[in-house]
Amino acid sequence: MELEQELEKDFGIEFKVTGGVDGKGLPRYLTVGRKMYAARNEDVLFYVVKLPKTVESRVLHKELAAYESIFHAPVAFWFDNLTKSNRNAYVRHRIPFIMLPTQVYLPFLGMLFSRKFTGPKREEALPLTPSAQKILFYLIYKEMGWLTKQQIAKELEMDPVYVTRGTKELVSRRYVSEVKNGRHVAVRRNLGSRELFNESRTALASPVSKVIYVKRTDAVTCLPKASDFYLSEIGMLNPPRIEAYACYKKSGIIGTFEIIEEPEWEEAEKICRVELWNYDPAQLEDDGAVDKLSLYCSLMDSKDVRVQGELEEMLEEMKWR
């Protein structure tokens, strides 16, 4: 079968693809005019739904959730034709899709790849380290051009050792290039900012390591605004009952916070939610709030369709360089 051959060619993994999948339990509109297949190998099972035409991304995002709730497995959509705008919208919404023979986007296979592959392909499947992701976002925000590692270390207040490790990781994924200039090594991104963000999307990880609840104080509210609290300020989302802020998980200021073990018993206006991040949000801070790309990563796995919609609006309105 053509799909089996394409999966093996692209990923080096043999799948057995079978048709005639029973759509029992699915509403009629998710079965009429659609063909469903199961793709199996020794490690994973996922389903493929072939659609007769493209579907608007926000609608398809809801349909994806409906299929996965019935199949209890990942689902990808198969199209005969896709426009560039279709493809970009599906990637933004993290909707798996296939268009043979040129487009295959199956982010849920990342864990399988990490077990199966070594070398560059394996690296691309794994999430970026916190240092590499912070440097990537920094380069996306800057005008395209060469920056020395010394400059990056100074502006991001990073140990030069971690800058070197982070840029090496980005070079290995072909997101950036390096050149030696005398005693210094300079780097620059290989794509425009929006293109680079889209290219790296499947490698991004949430910066949030842990969430705590603390008594509201000036020290807390001086932290960068974060999560749905900040998203509600820049979009149409209703504000949460409890304000949210972000703090580097190794910051000494955390020791001054009065941590609340049972926040449900406290008055919402007297406490705050604090996200402890794997990198310092203040180093990419945007006018008193976390930077927008890190905000996206912190909420990209939210099941709330309103949050997902606001995140996409935020990305559309960003000034890309």
pLDDT per residue over 32-41, tens digit each?
899 999 988 8
* Tokens describing residue 191: 């794509």
Which one-letter DSSP state was computed for residue 138? H
Q: How many Cα atoms are found within 13 Å in the side-chain-facing hemisphere of 126?
A: 18
Cα 269 from chain centre? 31
Has residue 50 been placed in a domain?
yes
Q: 10 Å Cβ neighbour count for 192?
A: 13
Residue 127 has pLDDT above 70, yes or no: yes
Please tell me whether residues 235 and 293 are part of one structural domain.
Answer: yes
Residue 115 has pLDDT above 70, yes or no: no
Q: What is the pTM of this model?
A: 0.63
The domain spanning residue 197 has which CATH number? 1.10.10.10
Residue 275 has pLDDT above 50, yes or no: yes
Has residue 145 been placed in a domain?
yes
The pLDDT score that the predictor gives to residue 121 is 42
Bridge partners of 244, per DSSP, are: 273
Match 């079968």 to its residue by tokens.
1
Return d(Cα 169, Cα 158) in angstroms, integer: 16
**Residues in Cβ contact with 243 at an 8 Å cutoff, skipping those fewer than 6 apart:** 216, 221, 225, 229, 272, 273
* Tokens describing residue 45: 């099972």
Residue 124 has pLDDT above 50, yes or no: no
Please tell me whether residues 81 and 136 are part of one structural domain.
Answer: no
Are residues 271 and 260 in contact, defined by beta-carbon separation less than 8 angstroms?
Answer: yes
| Boundary of a domain, candidates 59, 91, 113 | 113
**Residues in Cβ contact with 166 at an 8 Å cutoff, skipping those fewer than 6 apart:** 129, 131, 132, 134, 135, 158
Has residue 292 been placed in a domain?
yes
| Boundary of a domain, candidates 162, 179, 203 | 203
Give the count of domains, the chain. 3
Q: Which domain holds residue 295?
A: 208-312
